[in-house]
Structures are given as C-alpha cells and as structure tokens.
Amino acid sequence: MALNKFGTLSFVFKYVKRRIWLFILGMILLIALTLVALLPPYLTKLVFDEGIMARNMNVLIKYVLILVGTYLLQSILNYSSSVLFTFLNQHTLLDMKKDLNKNILNLPLEFFTTNESGYILARMKEVDSLSSFFSMNTLRTIISIFEFVGALFIMFSMNFKLTILLLLMVPVFGIVTKIFGRSLKKFTHSSLEKGAMYSGKLQQAILGGEEIKRLGIEEKQVKEINQASEQFAKTMIKRGISMSGGTELLTLFSSLASVFLLYVGGSAVLNENISIGTYMAFAGYFSKLYAPVLNWNTTMLTIQPAFVALERIRNFFFKYQKEEETGDELELNQINEIEMKNVSFKYPDGNDYVIENFDLNAKKGTKILLKGPNGSGKSTIIRLLLGFYNNYDGKILVNGTDSKKISKKSLRKLFSIVSQRIFLLNSSIAENIKIVDELDEEQYQKVLLKSGLKEFVNSLPLKDKTPVGENGIKLSGGQIQKIAIARAIAKANSDVYVFDEATAHLDSETRELIKRFIKEELNDKICLIIDHSNNFDDICNKIIDLTKEEQLKN
C-alpha cells in the first residue's frame, strides 16, 4: 500500500532522530538566520527616511554599519547551517543505506531469484533521491514560515491595504503546485521504473558479454538496451517538462506580483500616501513574503521525486519478510543426522510440485548420490535442507528437531557446498578460498593440494595473489570449480558436504583427486553428491534416482 506523505516523513524522521541534537542545532541556526534576514529591509527604510531624506550623515553611517554587521552575521549563520546540514544529510543517507544493505542480504532467496541484479542495484540507488529530505534548502523552506509571518506582520504595521493587495496572488501558487504535482509524481514513478529496467538490461549484457559474443547477438542486445534507454529518456523528458512548467509558472506569477507592487507602490509614493523609505522596505519585504511561498511550492514539486522514491523503496525492499532470527531458535554446534519425511514442495511462483512425497535419511558416514535430469528437484532438495524455503509439506529434521525451529545461520555454518552457480569475489585466489575461515599456512597448503589447485597456483607469476576478475572471468570453468572446492574444504567445522555437479568442468585427474578426498577424508561426515554421470557410484553407499523416485542402492 502506498505511503502517504505523513507516513513518509515519519519514516524519514526515524533516521533523523539518531542525530536529533544535530538536527535541533541546525533548526535553531535556520530560525536565527530567518530572523536576521528580516532586518535589512527595515534598516533600508531607516537609511532612506532618517538618513538620506533627512540629510543626516551620522544616522546614515550608523544604519549602514548596522547593515554591514547584519549581512556579516547572516553570512556566518548561512555557512554554519550549510556545513551542519551537509553533515546531517550525508550521515542520514549513510544510515539508510546501511539498514538497506543489511535488509537486502537478509531477504529470502525468492527475492534474488525473481529480480535481476542490475534492477536491484538501480532500485538501491534511488536512496540518493532522498537527500532532498535532509537538504538545507528543504528545511530552510519549512522554517521560512517564520520569515513569512514576520514579514507579514511588519508589512501590516507599515501599510495594511497594500499588504492585503499583495496577498491576493498567494493562493495561485498552491493551485499551480497541486496541478503540476500530480503529473510530476506519475512521471517520476515511471522514470524510476524505466531507469531500473534499463540498468538491469545493461548489467545483464555486461555480465554475459562473453556469451553474447560467442552467440553473435551483439546487435540484438544493443537494440534491446537502446529500446530500454529510449523509454527511460522519454519518461525523463516528460518529467522534465512537468517540472519546468510548474517552476516557471511559479516564477512567472512571482515576477508579475513584483510588477504589481512596483505599480501600486509607485502610485502610492507619487500620491504621497507612503514614504520612499516605506516603499523600499516593502520592496525588500516583498521577497520575504513571496520567497517562502515560491520556495515552498517549488520545493513541493522538486521533493516529489523523493516521496516517490521512498514509496518505491519501501514497497520493493520491505515487501519480503526478512530471514530474521528471534533468539528462540535452537543453535546447532554439530549435525549428526538429517532427514526428510514425505516432503513436497513447489516454488512460490510455480504451479507444479518440484519434489513430491520425498524421503531422505543421512547420518554421519553416509554418502548419498542424487541423480536425475535437470528440473527433477536435486538442487531444490539442498535449498530446502539449508532452510531457504519453509513453505513445504512434510517434515525436515536435523538431529531429530524440526528444521523450522533451528537457527538458519548456525545450520548453514555446518554445511560446505560446491554449487553449480559459483560466486567468486573480484579479488585474489587466496581471498576467495579464505572467504569463510582464516587458515594458517599449513592448513592452506593442504587445501590447495586436496583441491588440485597447488600446481596451477604455483605456475602463476603472482601465485595465489593473482586476481580472478569479476566472478572469475579471468579463469577457466575448471579453475573456478577448483577454487569452489578449495573453499568448501577450507570450511573445517562442516558436518555436511554438498557437491552439486562439482566435477563437471574438471579433467579426469582432478576428478579422481576429488573422489579420493571424498572417499578417504569425509568418512565421518554427511556427503550429498549431485551428479549426472556414474563417476561417484562406487564411493557412495546410497543412490537416489529422482526420475525413478526410488532408492537404487542401500
């Protein structure tokens, strides 16, 4: 459900409260700045009426010096408040981004499988649009209500009739803002969505650059990206036209009001109804009266994208329930047995069951081989064991306890997994191996040897300091696979080892090395091996064929 503006500001203020004293100090500075800004027009009136028109040099010098001091104080307050709100702005945005980063990495797997990474990143960048909430200009506009009231009071005291005439145009500003605000909100929402879609397609093309070249579909991809870019540009043009139209109309009405003052005030001076000093003061206070009105309505237009962005952020990132742990979950120190009883599961966006009435039992020392074609549910079984999904029928037990009652973090720490989809940091080989646990040199060398990486690493000029590139783009498929295996071996406290097509890209010599490692060193562990071939039949004591849905070997 869309947030109203009050709900939006409440959410924003939740972050401002973390630095509430800084915010209060900034508001005090802005109020002081507003009050000081009311002095120059009145001092100008005194300069003309009591100094220039009275031909009194001493009075002229006196008020000129006071004016200099006023402008100097105004400059100091302006600079101080600007620095303070810049600090508040950036640190508040930083707090928001930290919370958002934490929230995203705790979202369920469904979030990452249903949204493109480029689209997610573009949506995250929308946080920067919220900076207008904390900018000094926005807060100064809010505080300018004091300036408006102060200017109005002084102008009424000088000439009631002229002030009333100048106030007649104020409602026009509100009407213009309301009309253009609606269209601006619509175009802003569309431009943000089109921009996110464009970013998603662009990042997808960059990540798949090698495959695109192999398939020879560069022109097709460029066409799709350009189409997304054109749609984004069209909505940005509409948004810009709406923004410009609204702000220019507001500026035009403000200018017409100043011309109106020039005529009415000039006529009053000629008819000797007011003094030249009073007219000069009115001219000064006119900006104090209309500037807050103009700024307020302009800000309501320019801040509209921030309201839209926050609404989109809340509706996108917070619609998924986080994988939060309440502290009531059972913390695991070891896994002795895992069991699936009559488990059936289908994905949230699917109609058919991926696995149905599935049973599995594995204790320490058990090596299970899962076979079956793509889509038969082999990888889904692993995801269910890891607690990525809870919307299944049947029971999943770990050490005899319902897995839904177990801390997911403690559960996953006891799993070592070599997945089909291997993620590598854009850093060195060593950093990718040690991503989970720090190893001493002796342990590290054993990991390199057991994974079949040692010879390859020693052949490189930079050894294990060699960068792998984004997601291992500088390495072959087999080398990426070996790093993933080394990473799994390095996680020494694991009780369950999962090899999901782990040897698919490996040469026969390395494949045999991995088989020997599984056979000889994981006898006190639970091993789950997913493989299409018959390479692991001889080392597994249980084989489950998901096609036949029956256990072939006991």
Nearest-angstrom CA–CA distance, 202 and 198: 6
Instruction: For residue 432, report the phi and psi dihedrals to the nearest 5 degrees.
Output: -70, -35
Which of the four pLDDT bands, split at 50, 70 and 90, describes residue 177?
low
Q: Specify the pLDDT at position 2.
A: 42
- Structural contact between residues 203 and 117, judged by C-beta atoms closer than 8 angstroms: yes
More confident residue, 134 or 443: 443
Run of H or E residues at 367 = strand 367-371
Nearest-angstrom CA–CA distance, 500 and 532: 10
Query: Does residue 343 have a pLDDT over 80?
Result: yes
Least confident of 189-203, 292-306, 382-396: 292-306
Nearest-angstrom CA–CA distance, 281 and 153: 13
CA angle 144, 149, 150 (to 5 degrees): 95
Tell me the H-state helices in 135-169. Answer: 136-158, 160-167
Give the best-scoring range by mean pLDDT among 22-31, 58-67, 101-110.
58-67
Rounded to an integer, the average pLDDT of 388-393 is: 85
More confident residue, 8 or 200: 200
Q: Which residues fall within 8 angstroms of residue 26, CB to CB, at 6 or more apart?
A: 81, 84, 85, 88, 136, 139
Query: Does residue 382 have a pLDDT over 80?
Result: yes
Nearest-angstrom CA–CA distance, 225 and 440: 47
- Structural contact between residues 379 and 530, judged by C-beta atoms closer than 8 angstroms: yes
More confident residue, 317 or 465: 465
Which of the four pLDDT bands, split at 50, 70 and 90, describes residue 320?
low
Q: Which residues fall within 8 angstroms of residue 449, CB to CB, at 6 or more apart?
A: none
Nearest-angstrom CA–CA distance, 170 and 173: 6
Nearest-angstrom CA–CA distance, 453 and 296: 65
Note the pLDDT tens digit of each residue in 501-531. 777 666 777 778 778 888 888 888 899 988 8
Nearest-angstrom CA–CA distance, 280 and 274: 10
Which of the four pLDDT bands, split at 50, 70 and 90, describes residue 553?
very low
HEC string for 411-455: HHCCEEEECCCCCCCCCEHHHHHCCCCCCCHHHHHHHHHHHCCHH
Q: Which residues fall within 8 angstroms of residue 371, CB to CB, at 6 or more apart?
A: 378, 530, 531, 532, 543, 544, 545, 546, 547
Rounded to an integer, the average pLDDT of 146-152 is: 75
Q: Running DSSP on this structure, what letter comes out for residue 376?
A: S
- Structural contact between residues 402 and 396, judged by C-beta atoms closer than 8 angstroms: yes
Q: Specify the pLDDT at position 273.
A: 79
Residue 302 structure tokens:
């320019």
Rounded to an integer, the average pLDDT of 353-358 is: 87
Query: Does residue 550 have a pLDDT over 50?
Result: no
Q: Which residues fall within 8 angstroms of residue 368, CB to CB, at 6 or more apart?
A: 360, 362, 527, 528, 529, 540, 541, 542, 543, 544
Note the pLDDT tens digit of each residue in 455-488. 888 888 888 888 888 777 788 877 888 888 888 8
Residue 544 three-state SS: strand
Residue 117 structure tokens:
């990474």
Q: Running DSSP on this structure, what letter comes out for residue 183?
A: H
Count CA atoms closer than 13 A to 10's CA, side-chain side: 6
Find, among 29, 133, 31, 36, the residue nearest to 83 by Cα.
29
Q: Specify the pLDDT at position 341.
A: 92
Q: Which residues fall within 8 angstroms of residue 185, CB to CB, at 6 or more apart?
A: 304, 307, 308
Percent of the chain exceeding pLDDT 90 equals: 3
- Select the CATH number that applies to the domain covering 5-317 from these four: 1.20.1560.10, 1.10.3720.10, 3.40.120.10, 3.40.50.720: 1.20.1560.10
Q: Specify the pLDDT at position 1.
A: 37
- Select the CATH number that applies to the domain covering 337-553 from these four: 3.30.70.3270, 3.10.20.30, 3.40.50.300, 3.40.50.920: 3.40.50.300
Partner residues linked to 371 by β-bridges: 545
Q: Specify the pLDDT at position 216.
A: 65
Rounded to an integer, the average pLDDT of 319-348 is: 79
Would you kindly state where each structural domain of the chain is located, as residue ranges? 5-317, 337-553
Query: Does residue 135 have a pLDDT over 70?
Result: no
Residue 456 structure tokens:
């390859």
Which of the four pLDDT bands, split at 50, 70 and 90, describes residue 338?
very high
Note the pLDDT tens digit of each residue in 71-107. 899 888 888 887 887 788 778 778 877 777 777 777 7
Which of the four pLDDT bands, split at 50, 70 and 90, describes residue 396?
very high
Run of H or E residues at 203 = helix 170-207
More confident residue, 338 or 125: 338
Partner residues linked to 544 by β-bridges: 370, 551
Nearest-angstrom CA–CA distance, 456 and 464: 9
More confident residue, 554 or 405: 405
DSSP string, 37-53: HTHHHHHHHHIIIIIIT
Rounded to an integer, the average pLDDT of 134-156 is: 70
Rounded to an integer, the average pLDDT of 361-384 is: 85
Query: Does residue 326 have a pLDDT over 60?
Result: no
Nearest-angstrom CA–CA distance, 234 and 270: 53
Run of H or E residues at 393 = strand 393-398
| CA distances (Å), origin 277, targets 46, 48, 157, 165 | 7, 5, 14, 19
Find, among 336, 387, 376, 323, the residue nearest to 353 by Cα.
376
Do domains 5-317 and 337-553 share one topology? The answer is: no
Which of the four pLDDT bands, split at 50, 70 and 90, describes residue 551?
very low
Least confident of 138-147, 238-247, 315-324, 357-366: 315-324
Nearest-angstrom CA–CA distance, 250 and 273: 31
HEC string for 5-26: HHHHHHHHHHHHHHHHHHHHHH
Find, among 317, 345, 119, 146, the residue nearest to 232 by Cα.
119
Mean pLDDT, the chain, as a whole number?
77
Residue 524 three-state SS: coil
Residue 118 structure tokens:
């480029």
Handedness of CA 407, 410, 414, 416 (dihedral sign): positive
